């Protein structure tokens, strides 16, 4: 499996994550510091942005579940950082979980129980083995960033192991049983907000749009979902989509030439980092300068640094988390950056999502008190229907697994990212109509089967 393919699989979910968030009126703004649902939070507790910390001392005495005794709670977290083809892949997510575990334990743990984190490096291809080990040891999985979680869902569900993932990669996990995400990306819904915002400001180019699509089922499904929902907010699609091998090509000029010849003025793609820069370079070589739209998968420092020739200056993408350049004192972002960098870790969009996952899990765990069981935590999680992780993101509804209704749109300017819309950094445009309902994936190898509860029944324990 090539490095390019692995990075695509790993970052697909990150791209998907950017297209969701809050709820107010179109053109309005959502304050990322809006009150989030918390369970048992004390106003005198330390803060994570505007979220009262769920951590602190207590008088726990019971040992009610696997991974829980009177003094400790053992959770699992992990990534694919050990994959030799791309070392360090997604490590920022685990950096965030480690930093927040330390922060929580400094306050006394959760109800007095020390949080013990067990790290699992799945190295892309070893998740089944990792999951089998976690099944017998940990209480729950929290803040994970695994590229191919579907490969181990049979094992996870077979042992009844709940998960509060950071990044949700693919449909197998998006509507899975025993799963609550701090940033829902259900397979039967899609946030058309980024497409709508771009269409409002560039109404003519988006009427002549096409996709540039890597030939991989989950990518094709995502692009199809984007295209279907974008039609509802002003985009029209020419029959000019270009599909190329998932492993990439040495020369993208034939593909972009066909887009140019077809009269395409706006291109949606899900390419990543260097691959996207190569596509943009190829387009520039043939004097082709359409509007480009991507997903948060390109929100990396190395992508911005690579834009030395300005070819990416017309590239836009949505984001449901506050940009990492917005770190005012006391904000959730400032706390996240301080904790992670203070522990020697690196910050990133994926790290923000995993930090949100840990805080969501800890909030539910605190509410369970001494009788900390999986059923109790899952029940508490299902009751949290408004969540911002103290202001890291626009409001989300993890309890009902509903896609968000807000977005901000970013773009590249030279070698840096800027928030483009709305103009005030850290604010979000919102519209309930952006949350679109769709049929489950149609391009995947197996059509996702959802029950009336919107939970997947493809993989049964």
**Domain extent at residue 298:** 189-319+405-437
Residue 206 lies in a domain: yes
Higher pLDDT residue, 201 or 147?
201
* Within-domain flag for 93: yes
Please, what is the average pLDDT of the chain? 88
Regarding predicted confidence, which is higher, 102 or 148?
102
1 within some domain: no
- The reply to whether 166 and 193 lie within a common domain is no
Same domain, 62 and 169: yes
Q: Could you tell me if 400 and 385 are in contact, meaning their C-beta atoms sit under 8 angstroms apart?
A: yes
Specify whether the CB–CB gap between 79 and 98 falls below 8 A. no
Confidence class of residue 259 from pLDDT cuts 50, 70 and 90? very high
Q: Are residues 71 and 110 in the same domain?
A: yes
**What pLDDT, on the 0 to 100 scale, is given for residue 268?**
97
Within-domain flag for 342: yes
User: Which pLDDT score, from 0 to 100, does residue 111 have?
Assistant: 97
Nearest 5°: phi and psi at 213? -125, 125
Residue 137 main-chain phi, psi, to 5 deg:
-130, -35
Q: What are phi and psi of 193, to 5 degrees?
A: -55, -50
- Residue 368 backbone phi and psi in degrees, to 5: -80, -15
> Do 228 and 80 belong together in one domain?
no
How does pLDDT run across 263-293, given as a tens digit for each residue? 999 999 987 667 899 999 999 999 999 999 9
Any domain includes 142: yes
The structural domain count of the chain equals 2
Asked if pLDDT for residue 23 goes beyond 50, the answer is no
Cα–Cα distance for residue pair 436/230, rounded to 1 Å? 10
125-162 pLDDT, tens digit each: 999 999 999 999 999 999 999 988 888 999 999 999 99
Report residue 13's pLDDT band, with 50, 70 and 90 as the boundaries.
very low
Q: Is residue 374 part of a domain?
A: yes
Q: What is the pLDDT of residue 44?
A: 55
Q: Does one domain contain both 121 and 211?
A: no
Cα→Cα distances 66→6, 161, 454, Å: 33, 10, 28
Is it the case that residue 444 has pLDDT exceeding 90?
no
pLDDT of residue 45: 59
pLDDT at residue 10, rounded to an integer:
43
Residue percentage of the chain with pLDDT more than 90: 72
pLDDT at 350 over 60: yes
Using 50, 70 and 90 to split pLDDT, how confident is the model at 442? low
Per-residue pLDDT tens over the stretch 279-335: 999 999 999 999 999 988 888 888 888 999 999 999 999 999 999 999 999 999 999
- Same-domain pairing of 314 and 331: no
Structure tokens at 213: 């699509």
Of 86-90, 201-205, 324-328, least confident by mean pLDDT is 86-90
pLDDT digits (tens, 9 = 90+) for 25-47: 333 444 433 333 333 334 455 99
Residue for token digits 């569900």? 157
101 and 178 inside one domain: yes
pLDDT value at residue 199: 98
pLDDT of residue 8: 40
199 shares its domain with 168 = no
What count of residues does the chain have? 461
Report yes or no on 14 lying in a domain: no
Establish if 42 belongs to a structural domain.
yes
- The model's pLDDT over 364-393, given as tens digits with 9 standing for 90+, comes to 999 999 999 999 999 999 999 999 999 999
Contact 130, 121 (CB under 8 A): yes
- State mean pLDDT over 429-453: 78
Q: What is the pLDDT of residue 103?
A: 98
Query: Of the candidates 300, 257, 254, which has an alpha carbon nearest to the alpha carbon of residue 276?
Result: 300
According to the model, what pLDDT value does residue 171 have?
Answer: 77
CATH number for the domain that contains residue 296: 3.40.50.2300
| 225 and 361, same domain (yes or no) | no
Same domain, 119 and 146: yes
Residues 52 and 152 in one domain: yes
Whether residues 179 and 199 share a domain: the answer is no
């Amino acid at each position: 499996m090539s490095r390019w393919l692995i990075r695509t699989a790993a970052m697909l979910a990150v791209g998907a994550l950017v297209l969701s968030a809050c709820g107010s009126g179109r053109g309005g703004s959502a304050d990322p510091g809006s009150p989030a649902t918390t369970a048992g939070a004390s106003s005198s507790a330390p803060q994570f942005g505007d979220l009262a910390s769920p951590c602190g001392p207590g008088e726990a005495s019971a040992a009610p579940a696997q991974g829980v005794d009177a003094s400790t709670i053992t959770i699992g977290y992990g990534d694919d950082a050990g994959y030799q083809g791309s070392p360090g892949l997604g490590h920022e997510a685990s950096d965030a979980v480690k930093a927040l575990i330390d922060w929580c334990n400094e306050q006394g743990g959760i109800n007095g129980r020390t949080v013990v984190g067990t790290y699992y490096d799945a190295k892309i291809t070893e998740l089944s083995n990792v999951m089998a080990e976690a099944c017998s040891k940990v209480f729950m999985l929290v803040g994970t960033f695994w590229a191919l979680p579907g490969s181990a869902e049979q094992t996870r569900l077979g042992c009844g192991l709940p998960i509060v993932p950071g990044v949700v990669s693919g449909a197998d996990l998006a509507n899975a049983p025993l799963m609550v995400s701090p940033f829902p990306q259900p397979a039967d819904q899609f946030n058309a907000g980024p497409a709508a915002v771009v269409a409002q400001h560039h109404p003519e180019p988006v009427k002549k749009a096409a996709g540039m699509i890597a030939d991989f089922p989950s990518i094709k499904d995502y692009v199809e979902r984007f295209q279907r929902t974008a039609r509802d907010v002003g985009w029209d699609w020419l029959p000019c989509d270009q599909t190329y091998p998932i492993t990439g090509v040495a020369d993208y000029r034939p593909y972009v030439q066909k887009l140019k010849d077809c009269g395409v003025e706006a291109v949606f793609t899900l390419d990543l980092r260097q691959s996207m820069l190569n596509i943009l370079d190829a387009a520039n070589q043939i004097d082709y300068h359409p509007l480009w739209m991507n997903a948060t998968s390109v929100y990396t420092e190395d992508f911005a640094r690579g834009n030395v020739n300005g070819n990416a200056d017309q590239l836009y993408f949505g984001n449901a988390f506050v940009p990492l350049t917005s770190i005012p004192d006391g904000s959730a972002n400032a706390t996240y950056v301080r904790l992670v960098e203070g522990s020697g870790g690196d910050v990133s969009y994926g790290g923000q999502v995993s930090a949100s996952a840990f805080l969501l899990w800890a909030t539910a765990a605190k509410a369970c008190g001494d009788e900390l069981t999986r059923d109790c935590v899952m029940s508490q999680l299902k009751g949290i229907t408004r969540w911002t992780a103290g202001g890291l993101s626009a409001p989300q509804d993890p309890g009902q697994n509903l896609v968000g209704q807000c977005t901000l749109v970013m773009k590249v300017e030279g070698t840096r990212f800027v928030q483009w819309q709305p103009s005030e950094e850290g604010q979000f445009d919102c519209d309930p109509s952006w949350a679109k309902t769709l049929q489950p994936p149609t391009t995947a190898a197996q059509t996702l089967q959802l029950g009336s509860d919107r939970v997947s029944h493809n993989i049964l324990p």
